[in-house]
Amino acid sequence: MEPLSVKVIKMFATPSFAALCDYYSSTFYFSYAWSLKDDVSRLDDQQNRLSTCPLGSGAIAGCALPIDRHRLADSLGFKNVTPNSMFAVGSRDHIVEFLNWVALCGLHLSRLSEDLIIYSSQEFGFVQISDKFSTGSSLMPQKRNPDGLELIRGAASVLLGDSFSFSCTLKGLPSTYNKDLQVDKELLFKSHDRLLNCLKVMSGTLDTMEVNGDKAVKLLEPGMLATDLAHALVRKGVPFRKAHHIVGTVLRRASALGVDLKNLPYHEYVEI
């Protein structure tokens, strides 16, 4: 996870999009690096909570033999012992938490996949996915399909579904152990393996793809400086609401003259 977040950080600066309209220039993929970093942090938190030994809880009411649970837990490498036997045998909160974490991490990978799919299209051309993680079209020889990224996007849906389905299993169970809980193993192992495969594919995709930074830079245009212009007015003491209105007037005037902000005559700025 951490090496993957480093790879994302090293990616290129692009126009930033809201509702798929370019608005600003930024190092867009830093946002994904921080998402993945938070995923690592959340997993570490889970590991600390999981370091609790349930041995000695018995089937439901504990162990009648004089065992030292704390000594047993320490000898097995646990930090604590479970405080209640019914809780220990019946709780699957740790499974729910892990499945939710897997689903969230998969969601982050899916969103990154979607951006890379868009940016690898002919309309953008910011990146080119390598042959190792893409295939040719069965009809169009010139087409390159980002199969690996599309599979990650699809797998994320399954991870979300498995997470939700196990919570549905738990929501109506009575206290302590019930046979319904046996489904946790299947969902846990499948989700773990599926996410691991997604991480491997994403890591390989980032390692082998080619970045066309020059093309991304060429899409940066003066209109993206509209917000900076509004901020400049704010620094001069103009309230932002008024600055926003002024810049909107400037943009309309520039559009009427068929020019951008950079080429709008100085006297037009002064008159506005």
**All domains in the chain, ordered by first residue:** 51-90 (no CATH), 92-218 (1.20.200.10), 222-271 (1.10.40.30)
Give the per-residue pLDDT at 138: 66
**Coil, strand or helix at 61:** coil
Q: How confident is the model at residue 25 (pLDDT cuts 50, 70, 90)?
A: very low
Contact (CB, 8 A) for 230 and 252: no
- The rounded distance, in Å, linking the Cα atoms of 249 and 241 is 13
Q: What is the mean pLDDT of the chain?
A: 85
Give the per-residue pLDDT at 3: 57
Give the per-residue pLDDT at 164: 95
If residue 42 lies in a helix (H) or strand (E), which one and from where to where?
helix 30-50
**Coil, strand or helix at 236:** coil
Give the per-residue pLDDT at 106: 96
Q: What is the length of the chain?
A: 272
Number of Cβ within a 10 Å radius of residue 120: 23
Give the per-residue pLDDT at 219: 75
- The rounded distance, in Å, linking the Cα atoms of 162 and 263 is 55
Give the per-residue pLDDT at 16: 52
How much is the average pLDDT of 130-146? Answer: 76
Sole residue written with tokens 């993206």: 224
CA torsion sign for 192, 195, 201, 204 is negative
Better pLDDT: 133 or 103: 103
Query: pTM of whole model > 0.85?
Result: no
Please name which of 182, 196, 114, 193 lies closest in space to residue 149, comparing C-alpha atoms: 114
Lowest mean pLDDT among 68-72, 118-122, 268-272: 268-272
- Cα-based distances in Å from 146 to 43, 80, 143: 29, 47, 10
Better pLDDT: 124 or 95: 95
Sole residue written with tokens 């491997």: 200
Number of Cβ within a 10 Å radius of residue 163: 22
Lowest mean pLDDT among 74-88, 132-146, 192-206: 132-146
Q: How confident is the model at residue 15 (pLDDT cuts 50, 70, 90)?
A: low
Better pLDDT: 130 or 15: 130
